[in-house]
Amino acid sequence: MSLKQKEEITIWAFKDGKKGHEKQINALISELSQFKQLKVYEFNSWEVHSSKPDIIIGAGNNTHKHMLLAKKEHPTAKTIVLMKPSMRPTQWFDVGYSSRYG
């Protein structure tokens, strides 16, 4: 079932404790919530969880490896990385968004 067809989308948000990164994640989740019902789980690192993510979000270099481990466990989930990914190749992520400062 595609994300468009789902009534509720499960999001795993990987956070690194940095205020700016968490603001970006929260802003994206807020925007997505205008279109779909969301169930959001927040993580600081990769851990086994009983839910199955539809979308995996992270911001900051410390979240990238955890996002990719989650993606490996749940290959149908889409990954959205905020900020410029430190990991190469960036093709490992489904969507990358990097804002321009100044």
Q: Exposed, middle or buried, 41 (CB in 10 Å: 0-12/13-18/19+)?
A: middle
- Residue closest to 78 by CA, chosen among 89, 90, 94: 94
**Residue 84: predicted pLDDT:** 65
The DSSP string of 23-88 is HHHHHHHHHHTTTSEEEEEEESS----SS--SEEEEESHHHHHHHHHHHHHSTTSEEEEES--SSS
pTM > 0.75: yes or no: yes
CATH number for the segment(s) 8-97: 3.40.50.10330
Amino acid at the residue 94:
D
Residue with tokens 């093709």: 91
Token pair for residue 34? 């205008």
C-alpha 70/C-alpha 56 separation (Å) is 8
pLDDT (mean) for 29-34 = 96
Q: What is the pLDDT of residues 38-94, one digit of tens each?
A: 999 999 877 778 899 999 999 988 898 899 999 999 999 999 998 765 655 567 777
pLDDT band, very low/low/confident/very high, at 102 (cuts 50, 70, 90): very low
